[in-house]
Structure 1
């Protein structure tokens, strides 16, 4: 079975065309070699793919005949992705949310005035303490 079809069948990619694009961009390797979308996959092959800033590592156990339900995927692949990869993704997500909540955008004029008032009040209290 082709590598793009295999990764689509075991639900790593939502469509075959997305899996094909990933292979063309060099995000997929089989046994340490960059794979073209038409590369055949056999049991015991080691697949490494980069998706969403995570390097997934898989071992092919068997080749399915068609797309599988999510519960049946583990019969056809063994996931050897280290847990540190997922922790790294969580840290990236948290660091992006640190400054401002998602969807709030830039401060409005009212927000800016409130920030300026808060800062000037702090300066006022700090000057009077001396």
Structure 2
């Protein structure tokens, strides 16, 4: 029996995209390629195919090892593909995450904080 599975549904099921429509949109925009050629959302997925997938902040190179019809939890989903992403892409992603804004203000940049204002007021009142 030959199962047929759409590419957009597969990418959604293995959790590379949050929704199937986001997967289809990425495919339509040419962000998913098979052997360097853009594909369509309705393309049938075949075990052994390799796809290059670009999402918002990440780029994957995956090899399909099994077909997954429904969305399952992440620990199960990773069993249906092999991540062949180059190491330099993973390093870039780690650097990007490390340099991500933590919410704290950089020292001596921007407006003074409340603590800075109180310290300044204390300094001017005591002199």
**In structure 2, what is the equivalent of residue 18 of structure 1?**
22
Deviation at 1:51, TM superposition (A): 1.8
Runs of at least 4 residues off by over 3 Å: 93-97, 103-106
Structure 2: state its 5+ residue gaps.
117-127
TM-score of the two chains, using structure 1 as the length reference: 0.70
Deviation at 1:52, TM superposition (A): 3.4
Deviation at 1:60, TM superposition (A): 0.7
Instruction: Give 2:110's match in structure 1, choosing from 107, 125, 130.
Output: 107
Structure 2 Cα separation of the partners of residues 34 and 42 of structure 1 = 16
**Superposition RMSD in Å:** 2.3
Structure 1: state its 5+ residue gaps.
115-130
Local SS of the residue matching 2:61: strand
- Per-residue CA deviations over 1:29-83 (Å, capped at 9, x if unaligned) read 1233101111111111101101234320111111112112212123311111123
Q: How does 1:1-130 map to 2 (within 5 A)?
A: 1-95=5-99, 97=101, 102=103, 104=105, 107-108=110-111, 110=112
Which structure: larger Rg? 1
**Native 8 Å contact 2:9 2:69 kept in 1:** no
Q: How many residues align?
A: 108
